[in-house]
């Protein structure tokens, strides 16, 4: 049987897969089972920070694998400790909890916020404000945090205690704070799955002020926006605020599973032994990969990301078949006249991999994509738009 036949027969049908099998990747290029090559502007949904089969990542991971793969969190291990220090040094966070995915990073943040509120205000202060059109994960609790009904259908009841404000409408959040006993506000700085919609600066500053005034835990979900994707190491850095918790995953280890929940001053001592855990969390190989990724995200790379993002926006804004272009850095959404799914299919036929975000075409190229291949890909996208 072919891979496609095996997959269709044996893998749970949670994904509507595109009709190609990826067999190899190198930098921003991937190759399918027929040998056809594609410029990959999807990066495994914002995961392959430095593209495919990145040599430095391979070296970091294999060197660690040759020492040991896994020990459990009963013992100390250097990659976990060193990645935590690196993240703290680069962000001002004080402590990090490692897990395996974005949803888990958010679960950890939600538990921490409830624990903080229970201790400081009382157990009935458990409500968490998130935003409509947000996406925070697929577990029952992170689905509850996700402010989109389509993801909730037939999975009810979800975890209690989530209410939804409206993005860029600060009064909607103030009303929720006034009418509920709240623990936290949780938001994505750019709503990724919601159509690559950046929040406005005023709104984010407003959220930060409301959190301070009411002693709420301010949680930035940087699962998709983090690790250089938007042209800053973390997207909150564009907004002049410091969250109390930042969650991330996806691009942190460039392709190996990891989640991280970063605790800043107010939240650094919430957890104590026994309150939270994860068998694979802090896995030495994933953390070694994370060190390789984070230590290479420097000012030069970040300014390249910003420049490439501007290049994409300038190339496509006002172009035939484009209604609007949104996003930050190399996280771009294109509102198209044609159905986005048709544009994605045409791009694929023409040798470029892009994905959708709601009704938009979404671009998430590797941060180090060559300008030459980026230009080539944009020309193919243009051809596929009309």
Which residues contact ligand PLP (rule: CB under 6 A)? 101-103, 106, 135-137, 188, 192-193, 221, 223-224, 249
In this chain, which residue has its C-beta nearest to ligand PLP? 102
We find the least distance from the C-beta atom of residue 2 to ligand PLP, in angstroms, to be 27
| Residue 243 in tokens | 């969250």
We find the least distance from the C-beta atom of residue 102 to ligand PLP, in angstroms, to be 2
| Shorter beta-carbon distance to ligand PLP: residue 137 or 254 | 137
| Residue 362 in tokens | 């979404």
| Shorter beta-carbon distance to ligand PLP: residue 106 or 336 | 106
Cα dihedral 187, 367, 237, 88 sign: positive
d(CA 175, CA 186): 16
> What are the contacts of 323-326 at 24+ separation with CB within 8 A?
326/195, 326/196, 326/197, 326/198, 326/360
d(CA 287, CA 258): 8
| Shorter beta-carbon distance to ligand PLP: residue 100 or 373 | 100
We find the least distance from the C-beta atom of residue 286 to ligand PLP, in angstroms, to be 13
Nearest of 172, 170, 94, 163 to residue 129 by alpha carbon: 163
How many angstroms separate the Cα of 258 from the Cα of each of 47, 288, 289, 350? 10, 11, 10, 33
| Shorter beta-carbon distance to ligand PLP: residue 253 or 292 | 253
We find the least distance from the C-beta atom of residue 354 to ligand PLP, in angstroms, to be 16
Q: Which residues contact 19 (CB under 8 A, 6 or more apart)?
A: 4
| Shorter beta-carbon distance to ligand PLP: residue 93 or 249 | 249
Task: Let me know: does 253 contact 83? Beta carbons within 8 Å.
Answer: no
Task: Let me know: does 313 contact 328? Beta carbons within 8 Å.
Answer: no
What are the helix and strand counts (H, E) for the chain? 12, 17
We find the least distance from the C-beta atom of residue 224 to ligand PLP, in angstroms, to be 4
How many angstroms separate the Cα of 213 from the Cα of each of 16, 119, 163, 267? 45, 18, 19, 16
| Shorter beta-carbon distance to ligand PLP: residue 129 or 385 | 129
| Shorter beta-carbon distance to ligand PLP: residue 27 or 360 | 360
| Residue 214 in tokens | 């009411």
We find the least distance from the C-beta atom of residue 35 to ligand PLP, in angstroms, to be 30
d(CA 320, CA 223): 32
We find the least distance from the C-beta atom of residue 146 to ligand PLP, in angstroms, to be 8
Which of helix, strand or coil describes residue 297? coil
| Shorter beta-carbon distance to ligand PLP: residue 29 or 108 | 108
Task: Let me know: does 237 contact 222? Beta carbons within 8 Å.
Answer: no
We find the least distance from the C-beta atom of residue 225 to ligand PLP, in angstroms, to be 7
| Shorter beta-carbon distance to ligand PLP: residue 147 or 161 | 147
Task: Let me know: does 291 contact 82? Beta carbons within 8 Å.
Answer: yes
We find the least distance from the C-beta atom of residue 109 to ligand PLP, in angstroms, to be 11
């Amino acid at each position: 049987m072919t891979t496609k036949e095996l997959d269709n027969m044996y893998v749970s049908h949670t994904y509507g897969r595109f009709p190609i099998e990826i067999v190899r990747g190198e930098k921003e290029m991937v190759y399918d089972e027929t040998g056809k090559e594609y410029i990959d502007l999807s990066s495994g949904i914002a995961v392959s920070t430095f593209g495919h089969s990145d040599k430095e990542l391979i070296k970091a991971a294999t060197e660690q694998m040759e020492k040991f793969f896994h020990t459990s969190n009963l013992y100390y291990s250097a990659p976990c400790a060193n990645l935590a220090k690196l993240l703290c040094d680069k962000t001002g966070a004080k402590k990090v909890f490692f897990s395996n995915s974005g949803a888990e990073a958010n679960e950890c943040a939600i538990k921490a916020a409830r624990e903080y509120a229970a201790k400081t205000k009382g157990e009935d202060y458990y409500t968490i404000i998130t935003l409509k059109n947000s996406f925070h994960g697929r577990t029952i609790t992170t689905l509850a945090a996700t402010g989109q009904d389509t993801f909730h259908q037939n999975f009810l009841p979800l975890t209690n205690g989530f209410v939804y404000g409206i993005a860029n409408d600060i009064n909607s959040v103030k009303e929720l704070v006034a009418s509920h006993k709240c623990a936290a506000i949780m938001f994505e700085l750019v709503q990724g799955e919601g159509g690559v919609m950046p929040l406005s600066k005023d709104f984010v500053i407003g959220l930060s002020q409301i959190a301070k005034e009411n002693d709420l835990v301010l949680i930035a979900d940087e699962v998709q926006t983090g690790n250089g994707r938007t042209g800053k190491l973390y997207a909150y850095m564009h907004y002049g605020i410091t969250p109390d918790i930042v969650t991330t995953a996806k691009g942190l280890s460039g392709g190996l599973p990891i989640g991280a929940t970063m605790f800043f001053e107010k939240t650094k001592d919430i957890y104590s032994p026994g309150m939270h855990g994860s068998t694979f969390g802090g896995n030495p190989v994933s953390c070694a990969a994370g060190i390789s990724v984070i230590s290479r995200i420097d000012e030069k790379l970040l300014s390249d990301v910003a420049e490439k993002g501007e290049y994409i926006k300038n190339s496509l804004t006002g172009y035939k078949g484009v209604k609007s272009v949104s996003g930050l850095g190399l996280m771009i959404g294109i509102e198209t006249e044609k159905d986005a799914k048709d544009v994605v299919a045409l791009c694929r036929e023409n040798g470029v991999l892009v994905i959708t975000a709601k009704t938009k075409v979404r671009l998430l190229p590797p941060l180090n994509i060559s300008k030459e291949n980026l230009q080539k890909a944009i020309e193919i996208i243009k051809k596929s738009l009309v």
